[in-house]
Structure 1
Amino acid sequence: MSFAGKTAFVTGAGQGIGQALVRQLAKRGVQVCVVDLDSVSAENTASEIGGISLTCDVSKASELESAIETAREKLGQIDMVISNAGFAHGALDGPASADDQQWQMSWDVHVMAHLRACRAVLPEMLERGEGWLISVASAAGLLSQIGDAPYSATKHAAVSLAQSLAIEHGHQGIRVSTVCPLYVATPLLGYDADQPNDRPNDRVLTAAEVAATIVQGIEEERFMILPHPEAAAHFQRRAADTDRWIKGMQRLRGDAFESGNPQHFVDLHRLI
Structure 2
Amino acid sequence: MDIAGKVAIVTGGGAGIGEAIARRIALGGGKVVVADLNEAGANRVAESIGASALAVAGDVSDESVLRAMIERAESEFGPVDIFFANAGIGGGLGLESTDEQWDLALEVNVLAHVRAARLLVPKWLERGTGYFVSTASAAGLLTQLGSVPYAVTKHAAVGFAEWLSVTYGNRGIGVSCLCPMGVNTALLNAGFETGDSAGALASKAVRTAGAVLEPAEVADLVIEAIGVGHFLILPHPQVLDMYRYKGADYDRWIAGMRRFQDALLGRVSHPSRPAPGVVGAAPQAPRPGSPE
1:30 corresponds to: 30
**Residues 1:56 and 2:58 aligned together:** yes
Cα distance in 2 for partners of 1:258, 1:36 equals 39
After TM superposition, the score normalised by the length of structure 1 is 0.89
1:258 corresponds to: 266
Question: Superposition RMSD on alpha carbons, in Å?
Answer: 1.8
Tell me by how many angstroms 1:74 deviates. 1.8
4+ runs deviating over 3 angstroms: 199-202
Cα distance in 1 for partners of 2:100, 2:208 equals 33
1:46 corresponds to: 46
Tell me by how many angstroms 1:203 deviates. 1.0
Question: What letter is aligned with 1:77?
Answer: P
Change (3 A) 1:38 1:129: same
- Does the 8 Å contact 1:65/1:116 carry over to 2? no
Q: 2:225 aligns with which of 205, 217, 222?
A: 217
Cα distance in 2 for partners of 1:141, 1:130 equals 27
Identity %, equivalent residues: 43
Question: Where does the alignment leave 5 or more consecutive residues of structure 2 unmatched?
Answer: 191-206, 268-282, 287-292
Cα distance in 2 for partners of 1:7, 1:69 equals 12
- Does the 8 Å contact 1:144/1:152 carry over to 2? yes
**Residues 1:271 and 2:281 aligned together:** no
Question: What letter is aligned with 1:129?
Answer: G
Tell me by how many angstroms 1:214 deviates. 0.7
1:244 corresponds to: 252
- Does the 8 Å contact 2:181/2:209 carry over to 1? no
- In the TM superposition, what whole-angstrom CA distance separates every residue of 1:128-182 from its partner, at most 9, and x where no partner exists? 1000000011000000000011111111111110111011111110000000001
Cα distance in 1 for partners of 2:17, 2:160 equals 21
User: How many corresponding residue pairs?
Assistant: 253
Show the 5 A alignment for 1:1-272. Answer: 1-50=1-50, 51-91=53-93, 94=94, 96-190=95-189, 203-258=211-266, 271=285
- Does the 8 Å contact 1:136/1:179 carry over to 2? yes
Question: Where does the alignment leave 5 or more consecutive residues of structure 1 unmatched?
Answer: 192-198, 260-268
After TM superposition, the score normalised by the length of structure 2 is 0.83
Structure ID, larger Rg? 2
